[in-house]
Structure 1
Amino acid sequence: MEQISLFKPKERLIITYECEGCGRTVQKKEMQITGGPNKGDWIEVNAGCKCEDLKLAEEAGQRRVQLRNEKMKQFFDYYSLMNDNLKSATLENYEPTSQELATAKQNITNYIQEFDGKKNLLLHGSYGTGKSHLSVAITKKVMEKKKECLFLSLPKLLTKIKETYNNKGVTEDELLAVIQRVDLLVLDDIGAEHHTEWANTKLFEILDDRSGKSTIYTTNLNSKELRAQINERNFSRMMENTEIITMNGRDYRRKEF
């Protein structure tokens, strides 16, 4: 049987140093090639340096983050139920029309900076003051923190749940599971839905499943009107660990005549 001999290549130490890139002790050597067309030639190697490995690991990590961010955005776009005019809403392009709204924007900025996944917000006030706009803006900023978010108009959500009863696609359980799992849920326009016992029961299921997780609510109703619309049990659950931000002012969506 043919014997295969493995020869240790000849080597000469040039210098030993501490690599600034990876912090490892590196030996710069000359090594002689033992086979192939370049047999006998001498090459330089840096034995012990991990810079290339660290670079590859960093690139792989950045790619994973990029893919995760893309996946979260696709998830948000697929499941969220909102009007098209809200899709471009950001914190930066919200322009308060009163001091009260400027204060509301600052409080919301603080909420984003201190986001812990547990505290809730209730944005209430008159029509057209930017409650939905700022709620969408919050989800975009929180997603930058690598969190899953969802924006749902409550009236549209209830309609979507009803559609699942005659739809062979996504089921009600699957839809509610998505709502339960996200780090931040926005329930927009509470109180605009048709007042029925079924609607209040579904709202309670959602609120109960979200216990301990951050939820943002928006409504045009005051506390008395909201309590009458969604019942005392749902109102009480909504108020748990919830900061109230009042947003009254001129409807900035209307043009001056």
Structure 2
Amino acid sequence: MDSLKDFLEEINFKVLEVYDCEGCGEKKVRKVEAVIHAGPRKGEKEIGVLGCKCADKELARQRTVEVNKRQAAKNLMNKFAKYSLINESLESASFENYETTNDAQSQAKSVAVNYVKDFPDVGNLLFSGNYGTGKSHLSVSITKALINNGHNCIFISFPKLITKIKDSFNNDSVSEDEIIRLMKQVDLLVIDDLGAEHKTPWTTSRLFEIIDDRAGKPTVFTTNLEAAELKDWVGDRIFSRIMNDTQRVKLDSFDYRRLKK
């Protein structure tokens, strides 16, 4: 049987009540009682409703809410797309063309690939290491792979993010609130070059707001700073949020960008 309704309609049942449902508007809805004639529950009574469509309408409502939510996110993503453009040097970056030169890079690639496989049941990632070690390449590869899997993702450098927020003050097309909200809502946010921006109370407050409201949602960070330097740059409170449920992946100092050239 596909449903209780199908089951009840094939056996004798007792009508307990007939009423007009205020929830779905259906007339002459029947509340019925039937006795189970076979199986482990033989002899037990089953109460059900025939003719009510409240469950169907609630399911349709939930689907509509989800569709509208995803469409709103998509519209905002399209509006914001120009702000999350990947640098020209990284536009072709992928797992396939990430060339490893040492064990640290091989392990980092393995972590990144598994991150995509396990998404969204993952925590955060922090790629650290000197300039040109492939941190951004791997982060872009994660972003592209997850977008191809149907997730909403944004890759943006922290300096560019701060610039775009400041630009929004004189830009009618998108507001600071919209930018911050999108950073919070996307399935995956990648913040590249954390610590490369000049530190001010305003920039750190924006960073804290984004990270704090993304608690429980996957975020990937890249930084050229050592742990102690990053902690000093962002402060204890933000550093604690960044490191919460975060796997740190340190890449060796081999200049990956020089190899690619």
Provide TM-score, normalisation by structure 1.
0.68
Structure 1 unaligned runs (5+)? 1-67
- What letter is aligned with 1:107? V
Please say if 1:181 is aligned against 2:205: no
Q: Secondary structure of the equivalent of 2:197?
A: coil
| Equivalent of residue 207 in structure 1, options 195, 208, 211 | 211
Greater Cα offset, 167-176 or 130-139: 167-176
Q: Hey, what's the Cα distance between the residues in 2 that align with 1:76 and 1:133?
A: 22
Residue by residue over 1:35-55, the C-alpha shift from the partner in whole angstroms, topping out at 9 and shown as x without a partner, is xxxxxxxxxxxxxxxxxxxxx
Who is 1:234 aligned against? 238
* Aligned with residue 152 of structure 1, among 147, 153, 156: 156
Match of 1:55 in 2: none
**Residue-by-residue CA offset, 1:131-185 (whole Å, 9 max, x unaligned):** 0010000011112221110001001100111111122221000111111111000
TM-fit CA distance, 1:82:
2.9
* Map of 1:86 onto structure 2: 90
**Residue by residue, what CA displacement relative to the aligned partner does 1:76-104 show, whole Å, maximum 9, x if unpaired?**
84341431111111011000111111111
Q: Cα 1:74–1:172, aligned 2, differ >3 Å: closer, same or farther?
A: closer
**Change in 2 beyond 3 A, CA 1:148/1:117:** farther
Pair 1:244 & 2:251 matched: no
Which stretch shows the higher mean deviation, 76-85 or 244-253? 76-85
Q: CA RMSD in A?
A: 2.3
Tell me how far apart the structure 2 counterparts of residues 83 and 246 of structure 1 sit (CA, whole Å).
22
CA distance in 2, matches of 1:80, 1:252: 23
Query: Secondary structure of 1:107's match?
Result: helix
Q: Which residue of 2 aligns with 1:140?
A: 144
Q: Tell me if structure 1 keeps the 8 A contact 2:156–2:191.
A: yes
Q: Which runs of 4+ in 1 moved over 2 A?
A: 71-79
Partner of 2:128: 124
- The aligned counterpart of 2:60 is none
Q: How many correspondences in the alignment? A: 189
The counterpart of 2:172, out of the listed 151, 157, 168, is 168
Residue matched to 1:95: 99
Q: Check whether the contact 1:149–1:184 (CA below 8 A) recurs between aligned residues.
A: yes
- Render the CA deviation track for 1:209-256: whole Å, top value 9, x for unaligned: 211100000001011000111111110000111111111131021269
Instruction: Tell me the CA shift for residue 108 of structure 1.
Output: 1.2
CA gap of 1:209–1:220, structure 2 versus 1, over 3 A, is same
Question: Which letter does structure 2 place at the counterpart of 1:194?
Answer: H
Greater helix fraction, Structure 1 or Structure 2: 2
Q: Percent identity?
A: 49
Q: Give the conservation status (yes or no) of the 8 Å contact 2:190–2:221.
A: yes
* 1:156 to 1:251, Cα distance in 2 relative to 1, 3 A: same
For residues 177 and 83 of structure 2, the distance between their equivalents in structure 1, rounded to whole angstroms, comes to 14
